[in-house]
Structure 1
Amino acid sequence: MTDDLSPPRRFRVGVRLPEWSTGFSFRIFAGLTDFQRQSAPFQLFFNQPSGGDLPATVIDESWDGDGLIVFRYTAEEGRAWKARGVAVVNLSAETPEGGPVFPRVTLDNGKVGAMAVEHLAALGLRDFCYIHESTRSYSESRWKGFESAVKTVGGRCHRIDIPVSSFPEDIRVRRIRETLRGPLSKLPRPCGIFTKDDIAAVWTITTLADLGIRCPEEMPVLGVDDDVVFCHTTQPPLSSISYPGRHIGFESAKLLHRLLASETRRGDGHLQIPPAGVVSRESTRHVILKDAVVTKALAVIRREVPRTNIQVAEVARLCGVSRELLRQRFQEQLGESPKDEIKRLRLRHLMEVLTTTDWTLEAIAENCGYSGAEEICRFIKRNTGKTTGEIRRGVE
């Protein structure tokens, strides 16, 4: 009797992502291939434009493969896939009315909203505005996280709801800007603006320019997805919360593999992946507050924290005031001390470096103004209750 040496069956898996997401969703493929290399016998199919050199891959209700990873689908498609026993993983927070609900792997949109407030509050702001589209589930979740976080920091919360999807495509650009202009012009200044996604951030920044409102000095703007095209071509370049595409791709492949390996295709679970962090660019770099001393001090702190262990006395010296006056001004303007601000920004920067680079602790210490790896470990443990290893592994 001989062993069966035939290769394992390769599942035919289609991947469908919307055209408007290509500036950030390409990261999903890195996660899919990570899992594929580990254990998944997948043969991937997707529609990548090739100028006609390759045959088009059509993924619709007639898809006859084994599984699908899709970003949204119609009710008709969902019913057809379910009837044929196709395993489906949905990467969107949206599900079609009247259609089946498939297991989902998505960004944790509540945490996105909270992260936005943390970033904008660190600029010294006390007024915060969310650019919303209330008919979208993901936008509603981001709004709830945003609103809750604003209350936590004691800020004032504003919201502008733009019903983008209800505008006809041929006049959508004009209607968006017409609807936005009035509410945007009435916001207090300075005010931190968080938009539902990077596309909304682009038309928000454009409208601010039309109104003669300076970004970021009067209204810093933060988007979501870290779309490489929108973020780098917008003026000023756009700060954005990074879409964890590689993590989402890996987990969606892992979930699909489990579905394909089982007899059942049922399940409507929802795995939410935390955002990867804020990628800071010019759109949130410099805000002019009412107190010129605090504005200058914050600029000094933000410049020095990533590279030195700056102390309050040095900040005061660079601003030309005493430590006590600086402390009083911070308390009046921000409700906290300069020391609190330095510690918060040091922690935020260190967390970002730990989660977005593969630098050793020694390299981080050398580049970021710590005495050594031991100081980093103590600082992280004292302020988060976790080890640096747990931070890097994403342990909750």
Structure 2
Amino acid sequence: MLKLGYYNNGVKALKFIDSIRHLIFYSTSTSIKSNPYFGNYLIEHLGFSKQLARSTSTKFNQIQCRRIKKVSSSKFVSNADSVLAYLRQNGLNDTHIRIVVSSLPNILVSRIKQTLKPKVDYFMNFGFSKSDFAQVVSINPYVLLNGQFIRAIEALKDVMGCDNHVNIIRIMKKSNWNTTSGLSNNLIPNVAVLRDYGISIELIRDRLLVHPHPFLRRTVIFKDLLVRVEKDLGIPRYSSRFLLGLHLLASFSQNNIESKIKMFESFGWMRSDVMDLIRANPFCLALSEARIKKSLEFLMNDLVYEPAYIASHNVMLGYSLEKRIVPRNKVLLALKEKGLIKMHHSLYTTLLLSEPRFLERYVLPFEEVHEVYAKHTGRSPLQPLTEGGVGDKDGL
């Protein structure tokens, strides 16, 4: 029996640390009340609701209680106005600023030159546009007062290459606090382990750009995951599928994966068949159980494909039944019934074609199947395709 470990503990640990950090800074206290002038400022200058202004004001007072030097109302207003002007100058609109202030109310009393400007200058000098910067801040407001984000970028530069700013920015634009923490603390040692495994830096960079999260686990857990990719999934480290296996184990629990394997077995698959499928394409088990069941019902019951055939033509599991497989199968059957194409044309071959190519080869030349295509796709074959095509493979 396949034995798989549940290794989301790294992410859970990060979330736990983050929650503790919030608890320490923002724990509720009956002895601390909301600050009237602070709350009024949020309502009048940033459009906060009264309820949000009150809760944010309480956070602010809790932080201020730990300061030796208090901030007067007049100095607060002057400093807050300057901070808001500075943030707007660097691309943040009021929506972004509300997100930042509700998370970090003390930013309104921060010093621009000493605290904010060095971090903002780092972003801009690195190559972030103002819109990039605004997106980053709205996802992870703590970058404005914490150096973790900068350390994460430096780690990415070490792995991705110092001249790969575009892709580094792409990764960081989607990074919340947990992602940033994992990048800054775990990325470099984990990549070093992969390099010791013989994994090329090019493969690592490609996967990091698409799915960075498996690389963020604590290194002790990460090493164990790599062992299990070989031992439990049977994917050797020299295989191009090795990092896909890592992603599968890092993303799903033992029970989740085992339940999906049993779904295949309920359709008559031997466990060896399922293992062949996993080794060929680990992401087939990233599909939901409902999706697997629906696909197998059609491929095995309606089309009478054997497990071995599906395992060796596993790309079919990644295509949408409604948008791609069923419409193309109906068109192909109609063409064969009318004698417009030879019987040896396989569905699998047509599934590999892009939508424009499929239309050009199997639909447009034969007016007899235009109605069949329209019925099962909901669109005329003469209708211009939207960008990206129709019925493309789902993201696996």
Would you tell me which structure has more strand in proportion to its own residues?
1
Q: Where is the helix percentage greater, Structure 1 or Structure 2?
A: 2
TM-score of the aligned structures, taking structure 1 as reference length: 0.22
Q: Comparing both chains, which one has the higher relative contact order based on Cα–Cα distances under 8 Å and sequence gaps of 6 or more?
A: 1
Bigger CA radius of gyration: 2
